[in-house]
Amino acid sequence: MRKAIFPGTFDPFTLGHLDILKRSLSMFDEIIVGVGVNENKNTMFNSKQRVDFIKKCLKNEPKVKVLSYSGLTIDFCKKVGANFIVRGIRNNGDFEFEKAIARTNRKLSKIETIFLLTSAKTSYISSSIVRELISNNGDYKLLVPDCLNLS
User: Measured at the alpha carbon of residue 18, what is the angle toward residues 59 and 57, in degrees to the nearest 5?
Assistant: 25
111 within 8 A of 77, measured Cβ to Cβ: yes
User: Which pLDDT score, from 0 to 100, does residue 38 have?
Assistant: 85
Radius of gyration of the chain (CA): 15
User: Which pLDDT score, from 0 to 100, does residue 150 have?
Assistant: 72
User: Which pLDDT score, from 0 to 100, does residue 59 have?
Assistant: 93
User: Measured at the alpha carbon of residue 10, what is the angle toward residues 131 and 116, in degrees to the nearest 5?
Assistant: 115
57 within 8 A of 42, measured Cβ to Cβ: no
Catalytic residues: 17, 41, 90, 127
3.40.109.10, 3.30.9.10, 1.10.1740.10, 3.40.50.620: CATH of 3-135: 3.40.50.620
The pTM assigned to this predicted structure is 0.94
3-class DSSP state of 58: coil
Mean pLDDT of successive 10-residue segments in the chain (151 residues)? 96 96 96 93 92 94 97 96 96 92 95 95 93 94 88 61
User: Which pLDDT score, from 0 to 100, does residue 151 have?
Assistant: 61
